[in-house]
Amino acid sequence: MSARLSRLVTSSFLHFTLIAIALVWLVPTVGLFVTSWRPRPDIFGSGWWMAFATLRFTAENYLEVLTSQGLSRNFFNSFAITIPGTALPVLIGALAAYGFAWLKFPGRDWVFLIVVGLLVIPIQMTFVPALQLANGLKLTRSLLAIWMAHTAYGLPFSIFLLRNFFAALPRDLIEAAKMDGASDLSVFWRIVLPLSVPAIASLTIFQYLWVWNDLLTALIFVQDPNLLPMTVSIAKLLSTYGTEWHLLSAASFILMFVPLIIFFSLQRYFVQGILAGSVK
């Protein structure tokens, strides 16, 4: 009885601690959300928590940001950058990871070590030669340059994560499929991918959040003002309207909204993907 009571107390304390930490982490997000709906005079007159006393909210902040500030176009530009910037490294990385996990070719392990070694290279070191190459090919006036940049920067981690997960799949299942006459491509599409949904979903979350929230890469590789994503536009909005918190909070929450949807819709795969390949 005492052991059971001790476990109950320990479990309750742990749950209480985790809930308290989660609430503390949520406070800035709640404050930003409430501020984005408050009239401009109220924001400068009192803290965001006072909104629950006055109950004065308005949607004009969002309307002004999406219309007069032109962020609606940048919002769709972010999608145009993020979707290919996520799909390409995930797809190419999955194909390469299958090759490193299940195909035998000379120097396979050494090539994989080189790919893993690319993870430690700061991407800032590659900006100058990559930008010179993109300018030489005249790609910076379109989205091709940033698609290629995000694909190249995301591939090492994609290959590393998925290769570990693919290698942990049952060997008997793969060999049985090949004995039945399935090609490597068939094994990849019909067996490996369906069994690897947790790892792929986790990788998609990481890549999508990174590309969607990226500022530096977009600032360098997108040189057409009509193609800029929201991150660059909000940075310019900050420099132009440094004290217009009603506009900045609304624009920031619009930028946060899509990643939150992606994360919560795929969260059940998140922990499984984090542990990909850690156990056999």
Q: State the average pLDDT over residues 72-85.
A: 91
pLDDT at 280 over 50: no
pLDDT value, residue 224? 87
CB 251 within 8 A of CB 140: no
Tokens linked to 94 = 């999955």
pLDDT tens per residue across span 140-197: 888 999 999 999 999 999 999 899 888 888 888 888 888 888 888 888 888 888 888 8
- Helices (H), ranges, 103-221: 108-117, 127-136, 144-167, 171-179, 184-187, 193-195, 197-212, 216-221
Determine whether 250 is exposed, middle or buried from the number of CB atoms within 10 Å of its CB (0-12, 13-18, 19+). Answer: buried
pLDDT at 8 over 60: no
Give the amino acid at 209: L
Mean residue pLDDT across the chain: 83
Question: Which has the minimum average pLDDT: 70-79, 83-92, 198-207, 259-268?
Answer: 259-268
pLDDT value, residue 221? 92
pLDDT value, residue 150? 94
pLDDT tens per residue across span 203-258: 888 899 899 989 889 989 988 888 889 888 887 776 655 567 778 888 888 888 88
pLDDT value, residue 153? 93
pLDDT at 59 over 90: no
